[in-house]
Every structure is written in structure tokens, then in C-alpha cells.
């Protein structure tokens, strides 16, 4: 069984905050564009359906791992899927978490270069972001959770910024509702799925929740539904402003959306958004990076994750510099995002069914 204070511990409320923080990152920037390319004016319906679907997946995840409250990710996957598969999946998850960390760091670097520091070399910005992430994660899970608690309040400006350009928007751009067809609406669920990526970290962090008697499942589902409301409102407002055809040519609708209205005092509203967004993405990166380090710690039984946060930092740095341009960053991100289908959807279903096939018997034997 895991040692309770090896990595620190978090509360049920902090697990709620972690889910919020890890999802609201780079996915929100181009969400409207990628979904509208498929679902047209009904993109917001696709996002809403996807949020409901992921809420159901979250229920399955928390239900399954709650049956193994004293087991870490490696241990309960070994218990349900056999030891070789458990180790293989754990190593694969670490690789996945590090790849996500690298691509999101590069994504953040691209944004800082475009909107804030166009004359600063990318490798310098990359390095500064990585140092910040290592500093965030070196103290363990408790420190990172407290950092996420502070940053979660930045979601309030995100929500308020949705209303900035509404006077210039037209509800006609959202009509006819359902006009793109049921098949296109359902196809739009797939690209919106990746914008919710990150909720699977609950697979790693659940064992370290100190007050599991609290309704962790309820908090987790509420976190997903809260983000669903935020994403749905964001997509609706941006399509209402640009229209389903024009938005396909806007690379970052969430930022360009803020330039639609001029303010007498604040000249560039998008700069404020970018600053808030940077801190939010830092939380996303830290949560993913620490999750990969914790899994490796479980495998190699090292006392602290600090060892892995230091040793893998150079590898993350080189991976983040691998894409040569923005187009390659997007392609690399889409490739890594495909792995989320396995860890965020396929694996939870496999664990769920295996619990009923063989897990109940194993749990009862352990308790006896």
C-alpha cells in the first residue's frame, strides 16, 4: 500500500480544484474553431454533450478506484489486470504525462512569444517555464494542490470575459439550432473531447485524498459540469460573434474574441486574458508532470518524487523544443491527445469491468 505522507496528501476539495485546474488550459483557446469545423453553429451542443459524457466517465472512474482506497495506480491496475499489464500501463501513463507536459509547455511558449515577448528566443521562455514547473512540483502533492487552490480563482475573470463582446454578437449565427444535423453534432463531440483532457489524473491522485469519506465523486462530477458550462458558454459567445464559417479561420478564438470591443481605459484586453491564462496553464503543466513522477515513484519505490522532477526536466525541455513551428506544435499536440482516448476512456472502462469480473473477489480476500 502507498505511504500516506510520501508525496503529501490532498483534501477532497483540493481534488475538485485539481480537476478544474488541469482541464482549463490550452484546450479552451481553439475549442470553438475545431468543433465548429465539424458541427457548425451547433458546436456548443457538441461541447455540452461531451461534458455530460465525460461526467459519466468520471463516475465510473471514481466508483472503481474507490474500491481500492489504500492502493496507488500501479497497485490497483496490477490487482485488476495482472502484474505485467499493470507495470506496462503505469510506464505508459508516465510517458503520456511527460509528453503532455512537454507539448503544453511549448504551447504556452508559443503564446508568450506571440502576444507578450516576440523578441525573446523561445528556448529562453521554455527554460523559464520549465524551471517554474520544477519549483512547483518539487515540494510534492500538497504544495502543488495549494498552488492550484490559489490559481482557481483566476477562472472568475475567464467567466466574466465571456460577456465582453456580447454587444457585438448576433444570435442569428447560432441558428438554426440542430441545423447541422445529428451526425455532425455527434462527430463534433470527438474534437471537443481533447479540450477536457486531464481529468484522468484522478486515477493517480485519488489514493492521496485524506478525507475519502467526503463525496469525492460528487466533487469530481461537479468539476466536470462546471467546466462544461464554461466551455459551452464560451463556444456559444464566440460563434455568435464570428459565425460558424468565419471562426474556422481564427487560430485562437478565445483571444481574438477579446479584441472585438474597444475599452476607453484598457487598450488591449487580450493581454489581461493572456496573463491570467499563463498562470492557469502553469497549474495544468505542474499537475500533469507530478502525476507522471508519482507513477514512476510507485514503480521504483523511491522515497520522494523530487528525484524524478529533477532528472526528467532536461528531457521535457528537449521534447518541448522538438516542434519547429506552430503547425508542428498543433500536429504533435493532436498526436499526444490521441493517447488521452485510452487513459481517459478505454482504461477506465476496462478497470470498471475487470472489477466486476475479478476485482470483487480480490478485494474481499484482501479484507479477509
pLDDT tens digits, 6-55: 557 899 999 999 999 898 866 677 788 888 888 888 989 999 999 999 99
Mean pLDDT of 145-154: 84
Going by pLDDT thresholds of 50, 70 and 90, the confidence category of residue 267 is low
Backbone angles phi, psi at 211, to 5 degrees: -115, 70
- Tell me the pLDDT of the chain averaged across its residues: 85
Q: Which three three-digit cell numbers place residue 319? A: 521534447
Report pLDDT for 188: 87
How far lies 40's CA from each of 33, 37, 101, 236, in Å? 9, 6, 31, 11
Q: Residues 27, 32, 34, CA angle at the centre, nearest 5°?
A: 75
Distance between CA atoms of residues 320 and 99, nearest Å: 8
Helix residue spans in the chain (DSSP H): 12-23, 31-39, 43-65, 73-81, 83-115, 122-137, 141-151, 155-161, 182-193, 202-205, 216-242, 253-256, 269-300, 306-311, 313-321, 326-341, 347-354, 360-367
Mean pLDDT of 212-222: 92
Q: Where does 12-352 sit in CATH, by number?
A: 1.10.4160.10
Residue in 313, 325, 273, 292 with CA at minimum distance from that of residue 128: 313
Is pLDDT at 176 greater than 90 in this prediction? no
Distance between CA atoms of residues 89 and 95, nearest Å: 10
Is pLDDT at 155 greater than 80 in this prediction? no
How far lies 162's CA from each of 4, 133, 298, in Å? 41, 29, 42
Q: Residue 167, exposed/middle/buried by CB under 10 A (0-12, 13-18, 19+)?
A: exposed
Q: How many CB atoms are located within 10 Å of the residue 183 CB?
A: 10
Distance between CA atoms of residues 225 and 218, nearest Å: 10
* More confidently predicted of 197 and 327: 197
* More confidently predicted of 162 and 68: 68
Is pLDDT at 368 greater than 60 in this prediction? no
Q: State whether residue 177 is helix, strand or coil.
A: coil
Q: Which three three-digit cell numbers place residue 4? A: 500516506
Helix residue spans in 122-215 (DSSP H): 122-137, 141-151, 155-161, 182-193, 202-205
Any idea which of 29-38, 126-135, 163-172, 199-208 has the lowest mean pLDDT? 163-172
Residue in 337, 292, 330, 316 with CA at minimum distance from that of residue 105: 316
Distance between CA atoms of residues 108 and 265, nearest Å: 27
The model's pTM is: 0.90
Which residues neighbour 353 within 8 Å (Cβ) at sequence distance 6 or greater?
Answer: none
Distance between CA atoms of residues 304 and 227, nearest Å: 32
Angle of helix 269-300 relative to helix 73-81, nearest 10 degrees, comes to 60
Are 188 and 51 within 8 A, CB to CB?
no
Which residues neighbour 265 within 8 Å (Cβ) at sequence distance 6 or greater?
Answer: none
pLDDT > 90: percent of the chain: 39
Amino acid at each position: 500500500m502507498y505511504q500516506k505522507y510520501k508525496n503529501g496528501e490532498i483534501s477532497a476539495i483540493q481534488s475538485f480544484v485539481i480537476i478544474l485546474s488541469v482541464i482549463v488550459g490550452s484546450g479552451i483557446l481553439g475549442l470553438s474553431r475545431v468543433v465548429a469545423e465539424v458541427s457548425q453553429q451547433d458546436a456548443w451542443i457538441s461541447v455540452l454533450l461531451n461534458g455530460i459524457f465525460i461526467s459519466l466517465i468520471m463516475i465510473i472512474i471514481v466508483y472503481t478506484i474507490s474500491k481500492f482506497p489504500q492502493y496507488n495506480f500501479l497497485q490497483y491496475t496490477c490487482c485488476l489486470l495482472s502484474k505485467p499489464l499493470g507495470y506496462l500501463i503505469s510506464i505508459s501513463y508516465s510517458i503520456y504525462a511527460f509528453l503532455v507536459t512537454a507539448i503544453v509547455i511549448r504551447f504556452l511558449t508559443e503564446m508568450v512569444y506571440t502576444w507578450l515577448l516576440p523578441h525573446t528566443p523561445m528556448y529562453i521562455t521554455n527554460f523559464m517555464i520549465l524551471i517554474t514547473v520544477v519549483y512547483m512540483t518539487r515540494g510534492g502533492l500538497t504544495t502543488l494542490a495549494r498552488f492550484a487552490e490559489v490559481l482557481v480563482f483566476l477562472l472568475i475573470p475567464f467567466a466574466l470575459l465571456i460577456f465582453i463582446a456580447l454587444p457585438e454578437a448576433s444570435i442569428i449565427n447560432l441558428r438554426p439550432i440542430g441545423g447541422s444535423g445529428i451526425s455532425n453534432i455527434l462527430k463534433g463531440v470527438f474534437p471537443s473531447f481533447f479540450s477536457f483532457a486531464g481529468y484522468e489524473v484522478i486515477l493517480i491522485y485519488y489514493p492521496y485524498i485524506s478525507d475519502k469519506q467526503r463525496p469525492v465523486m460528487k466533487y469530481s462530477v461537479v468539476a466536470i459540469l462546471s467546466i462544461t458550462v464554461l466551455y459551452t458558454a464560451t463556444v456559444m459567445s464566440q460563434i455568435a460573434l464570428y459565425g460558424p464559417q468565419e471562426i474556422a479561420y481564427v487560430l485562437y478564438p478565445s483571444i481574438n474574441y477579446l479584441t472585438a470591443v474597444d475599452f476607453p481605459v484598457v487598450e488591449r484586453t487580450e493581454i489581461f486574458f493572456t496573463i491570467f491564462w499563463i498562470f492557469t496553464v502553469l497549474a495544468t503543466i505542474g499537475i500533469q508532470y507530478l502525476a507522471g513522477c508519482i507513477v514512476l515513484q510507485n514503480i521504483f519505490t523511491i522515497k520522494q518524487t523530487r528525484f524524478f522532477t529533477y532528472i526528467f526536466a532536461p528531457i521535457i525541455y528537449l521534447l518541448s523544443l522538438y516542434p519547429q513551428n506552430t503547425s508542428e506544435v498543433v500536429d504533435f499536440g493532436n498526436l499526444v491527445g490521441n493517447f488521452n482516448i485510452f487513459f481517459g476512456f478505454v482504461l477506465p472502462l476496462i478497470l470498471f469491468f475487470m472489477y466486476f469480473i475479478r476485482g470483487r473477489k480480490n478485494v474481499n480476500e484482501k479484507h479477509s
